[in-house]
């Protein structure tokens, strides 16, 4: 990008940030339309397919048990304490469950509304940061059509609600900076942080805290050395006593929100719940790979590229030019939000794609800022550093491969992962923008075509039928992917962005109207669980053998004992089936049952009301499942 192009970026001023203070009705209307549209997008079809193992039914079952037992302090799953998350997500899920009944739609409702709230907040935040309406719309749509946000907004987990809290807290902080201090915003900021602790513990505190302090120290250093050209300095009060007083009051508000439940669950479990939360989900997730959820240091690079696939060429090419715009407070603030969070999540021991969500809006806003403020994003003058970029890319791949091979040896793998990440960033920085832009265009086309081809292949493999519909959708998807690639290649940005988001919407339609209805008959938990709930007495003994998915617990509304396949466990099940005074239900795979009966004859008095061929989507592979009852 040339210096002349970078100079065309409009200056950041108090006038631009005060747009939010006197918003025209049209901008408010756009925000409402975005919320309603994405609420519909995220909620439609949520009640038409059963919960996905393994996390969704665990959250849903813990929430429904609170409604049934009246115990809103200690989350339980399958008659065992669920230590994984604090309490707020279950309280929020209980609201629609109480109103709409216990079902898939009500279990996912709050998460869908939270996802729509994130889109509306990103729109409003973009306007507060001084972006044009076009830039704000791009940021909101890039977030809203992100496959990552789309996934978590249609699942009953914690992530979309937590993301809404993080974006809301940072919006309030920015508003405090440029609209002056307000006690109601101050209290609301700390209340939201307290609720985020009850939602998922520490992640929001880390993201918001680092964003605040990095932005503060960065701006103060520029002010000290008279390098702050545009934008006012960080408006921290010179009266340190007043600053400490307000912070202390804020921490007090946070404790008032958090402590009532913390003390209640502490006394109820003799401190075990809080200790386990800290030991396993704070220290454990940061230091080690929990549940085999490991990944190299560059794990989140492709995840973020996929999350913002609709604007990938802009993401790859525009961000390097932002280092020249650090005089703008909005850019510094967004970088302070993104970089620390990215490094922390990249170096953590446990990695899952949705863990990176708290920094996704920052990256979307930075991308939209580049797109809206720069009349010519890409300079087609090649940068003479291609060979060095290729060398760094090779070094990154070698370090990544070595770290994957020796990942169980501790710190050497982590060190190699850091080297891989730094080399990859260096290669990206030095690669000519022409190459980056075209790489982004090709990736969109190839990824779209591969996903399109995989649809009929998956339908054929699963033997679901609807093959012709799958082939037709694949053809449409390939055409969309190719045209999107062509328009990105030709730098027709508006059409390319529209086609990319239309492609995501097309994928959503295919999933909701074709894929999910086609595979629902292959999922056994709902029919088996509902039969148990309707026909088995409350005091029945229930067993799971060879099929141990949490969704079976949710749909049955009962506790099921997870039983192994060894002879000792077999004898326990046989003894229960032979007891004529007890109602017994056993969900078991045909393979295990054949193994048991080949070594010892079963009791004679039992029935098989349900039996069929299904597919285990969590583990992969087909299974023949049976329900034995007495």
- Residue-wise pLDDT for 210-225, tens only, equals 999 998 888 877 766 5
Q: Which of 28-32, 299-303, 433-437, 538-542 has the lowest mean pLDDT?
A: 433-437
**Spatial separation of the C-alpha atoms in residues 369 and 382, rounded to whole Å:** 24
Q: Residue 85 above 90 pLDDT?
A: no
Q: Residue 603 above 90 pLDDT?
A: no
Q: What is the average pLDDT across 61-89?
A: 92
Tell me the pTM.
0.89
Burial class (CB in 10 A: 0-12, 13-18, 19+), 215: buried
With beta carbons less than 8 A apart as the criterion, state whether 75 and 82 touch.
Answer: yes
Q: What is the average pLDDT across 255-281?
A: 89
Half-sphere exposure of 95 (CA within 13 A, CB side): 8
Q: How confident is the model at residue 420 (pLDDT cuts 50, 70, 90)?
A: confident
Q: Count the Cβ atoms, other than its own, within 10 Å of residue 278.
A: 13
Q: Residue 492 above 90 pLDDT?
A: no
Q: Which residues pair with 610 in a beta bridge?
A: 627
* pLDDT-above-70 percentage for the chain: 82
Q: What is the average pLDDT across 501-507?
A: 91
Torsion of CA 220, 121, 167, 86, to 10 degrees: 160
- Give the model confidence (pLDDT) of 559-590 as tens digits: 898 888 888 888 888 888 888 788 999 999 99
Angstrom CA distances, 500 to 139, 315, 317, 477, 488, stand at 14, 14, 17, 11, 10
What's the pLDDT score for residue 274?
A: 86
Q: Which residue has the higher pLDDT, 47 or 370?
A: 47
Q: Which residues pair with 563 in a beta bridge?
A: 545
Q: Count the Cβ atoms, other than its own, within 10 Å of residue 533.
A: 13
**Spatial separation of the C-alpha atoms in residues 246 and 187, rounded to whole Å:** 10
- Give the model confidence (pLDDT) of 138-184 as tens digits: 999 999 999 999 999 999 999 999 999 999 999 999 999 888 888 99
**What order of strands is seen across the sheet that includes strand 622-629?**
561-563, 541-545, 584-589, 622-629, 607-615
What's the pLDDT score for residue 6?
A: 37
Q: How confident is the model at residue 466 (pLDDT cuts 50, 70, 90)?
A: confident
Q: Which of 18-27, 40-49, 93-102, 542-551 has the lowest mean pLDDT?
A: 18-27
Q: Residue 426 above 80 pLDDT?
A: no
With beta carbons less than 8 A apart as the criterion, state whether 135 and 30 touch.
Answer: no
- How high is the mean pLDDT of the chain? 83
Q: How confident is the model at residue 325 (pLDDT cuts 50, 70, 90)?
A: confident
What's the pLDDT score for residue 388?
A: 65
Within 8 A by CB and 6+ apart from 105, the residues are 43, 46, 47, 96
- Give the model confidence (pLDDT) of 360-410 as tens digits: 999 999 988 877 655 444 443 344 456 566 566 666 666 666 666 665 545
- Give the model confidence (pLDDT) of 282-309 as tens digits: 666 655 666 566 777 788 888 999 999 9
With beta carbons less than 8 A apart as the criterion, state whether 607 and 514 touch.
Answer: no
Q: Which residue has the higher pLDDT, 402 or 192?
A: 192
For residues 34-66, one letter each, b for 16 or more C-beta atoms within 10 angstroms of the residue's C-beta and e for the rest, the string is bbeebbebbbbbbeebbbbbebbbbbbbbbbbb
What's the pLDDT score for residue 5?
A: 38
Q: How confident is the model at residue 417 (pLDDT cuts 50, 70, 90)?
A: low
Bridge-based pairing of strands 584-589 and 80-81 is unpaired
Bridge-based pairing of strands 541-545 and 584-589 is parallel
Closest by CA position to 306, among listed 151, 185, 428: 151
Q: Count the Cβ atoms, other than its own, within 10 Å of residue 538.
A: 8
Q: Which of 9-13, 65-69, 529-533, 541-545 has the lowest mean pLDDT?
A: 9-13
**Spatial separation of the C-alpha atoms in residues 92 and 117, rounded to whole Å:** 15
Q: Residue 18 above 50 pLDDT?
A: no
What's the pLDDT score for residue 573?
A: 86
Within 8 A by CB and 6+ apart from 326, the residues are 218, 222, 332, 335
**Spatial separation of the C-alpha atoms in residues 396 and 213, rounded to whole Å:** 31
Give the three-class secondary structure for 545: strand
What's the pLDDT score for residue 221?
A: 79
Q: How confident is the model at residue 324 (pLDDT cuts 50, 70, 90)?
A: low
Tell me the two tokens of residue 230: 């545009």
Q: Residue 419 above 90 pLDDT?
A: no
Q: Which residue has the higher pLDDT, 258 or 576?
A: 258
Angstrom CA distances, 329 to 180, 459, 627, stand at 16, 50, 63
* pLDDT-above-90 percentage for the chain: 42
Q: Residue 226 above 80 pLDDT?
A: no
Closest by CA position to 154, among listed 120, 203, 105: 105
What's the pLDDT score for residue 114?
A: 97
Q: Residue 616 above 90 pLDDT?
A: no
Q: Residue 622 above 70 pLDDT?
A: yes
């Amino acid at each position: 990008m040339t210096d002349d192009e970078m100079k065309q970026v409009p200056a950041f001023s108090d006038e631009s940030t005060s747009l939010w203070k006197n918003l025209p009705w049209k901008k408010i209307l756009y925000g409402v339309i975005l919320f309603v549209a994405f609420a519909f997008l995220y909620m439609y079809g949520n009640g038409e397919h059963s919960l996905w193992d393994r996390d969704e039914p665990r959250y849903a079952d813990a929430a429904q048990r609170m409604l049934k037992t009246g115990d809103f302090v200690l989350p339980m799953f399958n008659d065992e304490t669920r230590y994984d998350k604090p309490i707020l997500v279950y309280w929020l899920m209980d609201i629609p469950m109480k109103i709409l009944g216990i079902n898939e739609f009500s279990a996912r409702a709050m998460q869908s509304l939270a996802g729509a709230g994130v889109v509306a907040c990103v729109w409003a935040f973009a306007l507060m940061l001084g972006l044009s309406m076009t830039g704000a719309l791009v940021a909101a749509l890039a977030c809203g059509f992100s496959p990552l946000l789309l996934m978590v907004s249609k699942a009953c987990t914690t992530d979309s609600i937590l993301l809404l809290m993080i974006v809301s807290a940072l919006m309030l902080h920015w508003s405090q900076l440029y609209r002056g201090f307000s006690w109601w915003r101050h209290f609301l900021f700390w209340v939201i942080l307290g609720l985020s602790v009850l939602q998922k513990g520490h992640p929001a505190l880390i993201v918001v805290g680092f964003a605040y302090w990095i932005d503060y120290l960065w701006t103060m250093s520029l002010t000290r050395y008279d390098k702050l050209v545009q934008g006012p300095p960080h408006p921290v009060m010179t009266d340190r006593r007043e600053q400490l007083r307000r912070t202390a009051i804020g921490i007090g508000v946070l404790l008032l929100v958090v402590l009532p439940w913390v003390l209640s669950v502490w006394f109820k479990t003799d401190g075990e719940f809080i200790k386990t939360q800290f030991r396993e989900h704070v220290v454990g997730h940061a230091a080690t790979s929990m549940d085999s959820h490991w990944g190299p240091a560059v794990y989140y690079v492709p995840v973020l590229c996929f999350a913002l696939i609709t604007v990938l060429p802009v993401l790859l090419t525009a961000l390097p030019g932002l280092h020249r715009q650090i005089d703008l407070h909005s850019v510094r603030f967004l970088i302070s939000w993104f970089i620390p969070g990215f490094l922390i999540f990249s170096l953590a021991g446990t990695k899952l794609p949705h863990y990176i969500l708290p920094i996704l809006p920052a990256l979307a806003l930075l991308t939209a800022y580049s797109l809206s403020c720069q009349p010519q994003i890409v300079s087609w003058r090649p940068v003479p550093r291609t060979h060095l970029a290729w060398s760094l890319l090779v070094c990154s791949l070698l370090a990544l491969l070595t770290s994957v091979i020796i990942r169980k040896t501790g710190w050497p793998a982590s060190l190699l992962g850091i080297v891989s990440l730094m080399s990859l960033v260096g290669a990206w920085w030095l690669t000519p923008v022409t190459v980056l832009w075209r790489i982004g265009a090709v990736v969109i086309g190839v990824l779209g075509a591969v996903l399109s081809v995989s649809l009929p292949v998956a339908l054929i493999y699963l033997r679901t039928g609807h093959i012709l519909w799958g082939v037709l959708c694949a053809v449409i998807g390939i055409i969309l992917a190719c045209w999107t690639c062509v328009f990105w290649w030709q730098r027709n940005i508006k059409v390319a962005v529209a086609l990319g988001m239309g492609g995501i919407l097309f994928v959503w339609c295919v999933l909701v109207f074709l894929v999910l209805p086609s595979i629902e008959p292959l999922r056994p938990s709902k029919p088996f669980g509902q039969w148990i709930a309707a026909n088995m007495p409350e005091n029945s003994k229930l067993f799971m053998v060879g099929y141990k998915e949490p969704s079976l617990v949710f749909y049955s509304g009962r506790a099921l004992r997870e039983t192994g396949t060894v002879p000792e466990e077999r004898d326990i099940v046989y003894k229960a089936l032979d007891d004529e005074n007890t109602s017994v239900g056993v969900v078991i795979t045909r393979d295990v049952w054949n193994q048991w009966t080949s070594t010892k004859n079963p009791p004679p008095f039992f029935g098989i009301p349900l039996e069929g061929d299904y597919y285990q989507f969590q583990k992969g592979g087909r299974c023949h499942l049976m329900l034995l009852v007495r």
